[in-house]
């Protein structure tokens, strides 16, 4: 586990996506998006806090090398659910700072699990008269998708297991790990 920094060595069972693979894939996704939007005068990237923050920063930076110019927006939502399952009922904690009417919006997501939050968000963005709305997600768990959400750009399809790192947390920890990995079972017993 050369990729695992010393601090987390004891907690991580397995690296699922390495920092190197994230870098390579992010660059590929940015090239794809740049090609698809080559006729647009700009795009508006919408990051849903906090999980997507690392991917947003790296994806925006990669897109900046290939164009078109991107504006960055952040939203925070809380999804009402029972325990760990999200219900699809969403409350906005932080809304967009500006009007998105007529803009090409790209939602930047960390992971699509049930797809419930994303499905709500896409309807919301469309209701605000975006010119187009697409999604780029670093990770997707295909088994868990209850709602069919059109995710045009996907980094990695992963197994249906709980992952942390690269923005994703367990109890607000591990967001700063540079890779995506699975925790050892004993971490949950602490
Ligand atoms: P969904 O509405 O698609 O079920 O859930 C979306 C959100 O749940 C993701 O944006 C992410 O914040 C969180 N989530 C889903 N799967 C995982 C996971 O394996 N690990 C972590 N840390 N968060 C997850
Ligand atoms: Mg998210
Ligand atoms: Mg979380």
Query: What is the mean predicted confidence (pLDDT) over 51-64?
Result: 98
The pTM assigned to this predicted structure is 0.92
Query: What pLDDT shows up at residue 90?
Result: 87
Query: What pLDDT shows up at residue 148?
Result: 75
Determine the distance separating the centroid of ligand 2 and the alpha carbon of 121, expressed in angstroms.
11
Q: Is the CB of 168 under 6 A from ligand 1?
A: yes
Lookup: tokens for 169: 């947390």
C-alpha to C-alpha distances, 116 to 7, 126, 150, 152, 175, nearest whole angstrom = 34, 16, 12, 16, 22
Q: List the catalytic residues.
A: 113
Closest ligand relative to 114 C-alpha: 1
Query: What is the mean predicted confidence (pLDDT) over 186-190?
Result: 90
Determine the distance separating the centroid of ligand 3 and the alpha carbon of 37, expressed in angstroms.
31
In a domain, 114, yes or no: yes
In a domain, 111, yes or no: yes
Q: How far is 130 from 99, CA to CA, in rounded Å?
A: 9
Q: What CATH number should be reported for the domain holding residue 148?
A: 3.40.50.2020
Tens of pLDDT, residues 71-88: 999 999 987 655 555 666
Range of the domain at 69: 19-158
Percentage above 90 pLDDT, the chain:
77
114 or 21, which is more confident: 21
Query: What pLDDT shows up at residue 149?
Result: 83
Q: How far is 43 from 70, CA to CA, in rounded Å?
A: 5
Q: How far is 66 from 120, CA to CA, in rounded Å?
A: 30
Residues 6+ apart with CB under 8 A from 159: 141, 143
Q: How many domains does the chain have?
A: 1
In a domain, 136, yes or no: yes
Q: For residue 109, which atom of ligand 1 is closest to its CA?
A: 10
Query: What pLDDT shows up at residue 87?
Result: 65
Decide: 47 and 56 in contact? Cβ < 8 Å: yes
Tens of pLDDT, residues 96-108: 999 999 999 999 9
**Mean model confidence pLDDT for the chain:** 91
Torsional sign, CA 10, 15, 20, 26: negative
In a domain, 72, yes or no: yes
In a domain, 77, yes or no: yes
Q: Is the CB of 16 under 6 A from ligand 1?
A: no
Pocket test for ligand 1, best of 168, 171, 173, 177 (most atoms within 8 A of CB): 168
In a domain, 24, yes or no: yes
In a domain, 182, yes or no: no
In a domain, 146, yes or no: yes
Residues 6+ apart with CB under 8 A from 96: 46, 73, 75, 128
In this prediction the ipTM stands at 0.94
């Amino acid at each position: 586990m050369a990729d695992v920094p010393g601090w987390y060595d004891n907690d991580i069972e397995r690296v699922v996506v390495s920092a190197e693979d994230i870098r390579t894939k992010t660059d590929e996704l940015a090239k794809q998006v740049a090609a698809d939007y080559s006729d647009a005068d700009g795009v508006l990237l919408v990051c849903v806090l906090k999980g997507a923050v690392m991917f947003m920063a790296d994806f925006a930076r990669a897109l900046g090398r290939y164009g078109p110019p991107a504006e960055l927006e952040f939203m925070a939502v809380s999804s009402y659910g029972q325990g760990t399952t999200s219900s699809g009922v969403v409350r906005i904690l932080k809304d967009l700072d500006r009007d998105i009417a007529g803009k090409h919006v790209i939602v930047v997501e960390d992971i699509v699990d049930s797809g419930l939050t994303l499905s709500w968000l896409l309807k919301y963005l469309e209701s605000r008269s975006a010119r187009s709305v697409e999604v780029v997600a670093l990770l997707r768990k295909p088994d868990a998708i209850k709602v069919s959400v059109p995710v045009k750009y996907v980094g990695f399809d992963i197994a249906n297991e709980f992952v942390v790192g690269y923005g994703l947390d367990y109890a607000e920890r591990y967001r700063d790990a540079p890779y995506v990995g699975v925790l050892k079972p004993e971490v949950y017993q602490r």
